[in-house]
Amino acid sequence: MDNLTHTLVAATLARTPLARAGRGTLPALIVASNAPDADILAALAGGRVAYLEWHRGITHGLLGVVVLGVASAGLVSLGRLALDRARPAPRRHNASLGMLMAVSMIAVVLHILMDLPTSYGTRILSPFDWRWFSFDWLPIIDVYLLIALVAGLVFGELSKDARPRFAAIVLAVMAANYGGRAAVHQQALALAPRLLGPLLPPACDAVARGFGRADGHEPRGLSRAPFFAINEWPRAPVASATGRPCLIEIAAVPTFVSPFRWRVIAHLSNGYELHDLDVLDARFRAPASAGDVFWRRSVRYPDQWMPATFAAARTHTAATFLGFSRFPAARTFSDPQGGATVRWSDMRFVGGFLTVDAPSPPTLFNVFVRLDASGGVVQEQMGR
């Protein structure tokens, strides 16, 4: 999630019984709620590639909970001590260092748990395991969650005695939002095969799991994913045993506008097919028929790997991007001099803001590698 959301959650938690820990609880919650995103310092030191390499890594893993919790508590404790020396005041109930550590670790854990359901994902097992994990329930910025958090804090200002009650209501709404989005996400996955239509190829032989159909029949060899199935990547490549395109995975990623609108990504052995899906579309409540034409509004992106593509993938920039990207699509362009330019784009971040029918290459989530005629690297960069 974005840092504004993390900060508002911290302010809400400070109005729960956690506030009884004593003075310093609120700043500890705010600092610790944002501490995992200190990995942005990697961008200042090494640019975009370094940022992508370290983003949501160690600071979002098991060690990060302990280290950042202790560091946040220590920072707040020192700040409180300096403030008391500068402005002496009557003795107040200060939270102990141990209590600040406990509160800070709670805030760090909540930060990580809030990042996990987003389609961006996080690396919760780093540094022991650098794979990415996600549930695909929420976008990186949830405007409805922001509205609920702001409303709770504003109403709490109107009545200080009612602050704990408003905080409890907001946290309940927040939990309901996560649960509701998880349920709608499962519905989107169930409708996806019907959306993809007759052009959906059979599942690749090596694929062990997939997603079911709304009518209860499994789509061509894919089995229904459990409700709490977690996505993980990068994964080993899957090729078609017959040489014909086959289906590797179907994903539904959330959009910013509505919790009922999703972007369906069909990952094929030779490319990707993207669709917009509205689970409230009345046509999905009617029985499936041969007249369904949802599939005609698809946007296709090829994923072509050639000798130049494999050579470019060995560069540091490309390897970092491929370790981060869940759905990397490769395009290779040859030039008259015998060289080649290879471009990867992450399919989670292409398409227009409102519809996939307005495709536009992502800015940060693009990688270019230029090779000369002998296969030497001329240029590698991340961005447009």
pLDDT in tens, 221-232: 454 556 668 999
Mean pLDDT of the chain: 87
Bigger pLDDT: 254 or 242?
A: 254
Using CB atoms within 10 Å of the CB of residue 22, give its burial: 0 to 12 exposed, 13 to 18 middle, 19+ buried: middle
Residue 97: inside a domain: yes
Does residue 11 surpass a pLDDT of 80?
yes
Residue 43: inside a domain: yes
CA 39 to chain centre: 16
**One domain, residues 321 and 347:** yes
Query: Which domain covers residue 239, as residue numbers?
Result: 181-302
Residue 144: inside a domain: no
- Residues of the chain by 3-state class (helix, strand, coil), percent to 5: 45, 15, 35
Residue 151: inside a domain: no
- Is-cis flag, bond preceding 328, omega within 30? no
**One domain, residues 193 and 273:** yes
* Contact in structure between 33 and 109 (CB atoms under 8 Å): no
Distance from C-alpha of 22 to C-alpha of 120, rounded to nearest angstrom: 36
**One domain, residues 331 and 279:** no
**One domain, residues 125 and 11:** yes
| Chosen domain end from 246, 274, 302 | 302
What DSSP designation does 228 have? T
| Chosen domain end from 302, 332, 349 | 302
Residue 142: inside a domain: no
Does residue 90 surpass a pLDDT of 70?
no
pLDDT value, residue 212: 37
Residue 165: inside a domain: no
Look at residues 68, 56, 35 and name the one whose alpha carbon lies nearest to residue 123.
56
Residue 103: inside a domain: yes
**One domain, residues 123 and 208:** no
pLDDT value, residue 244: 86
**One domain, residues 33 and 73:** yes
Does residue 64 surpass a pLDDT of 90?
yes
**One domain, residues 297 and 347:** no
Q: How confident is residue 289, by pLDDT bands cut at 50, 70 and 90?
A: low
Residue 146: inside a domain: no
Q: How confident is residue 296, by pLDDT bands cut at 50, 70 and 90?
A: low
| Chosen domain end from 102, 134, 166 | 134
Residues with Cβ within 8 Å of residue 82, at least 6 apart in sequence: none
**One domain, residues 208 and 327:** no
pLDDT value, residue 208: 39
Does residue 250 surpass a pLDDT of 90?
yes
**One domain, residues 323 and 289:** no
pLDDT value, residue 209: 39
**One domain, residues 219 and 124:** no
Which is it for strands 377-382 and 299-302: parallel, antiparallel or unpaired? Answer: unpaired
**One domain, residues 321 and 271:** no
CA 310 to chain centre: 27
**One domain, residues 298 and 329:** no
The total of structural domains in the chain comes to 3
Distance from C-alpha of 252 to C-alpha of 230, rounded to nearest angstrom: 13
Residues with Cβ within 8 Å of residue 284, at least 6 apart in sequence: 191, 194, 214
Distance from C-alpha of 350 to C-alpha of 106, rounded to nearest angstrom: 35
pLDDT in tens, 105-135: 999 999 999 999 999 999 999 999 999 999 9
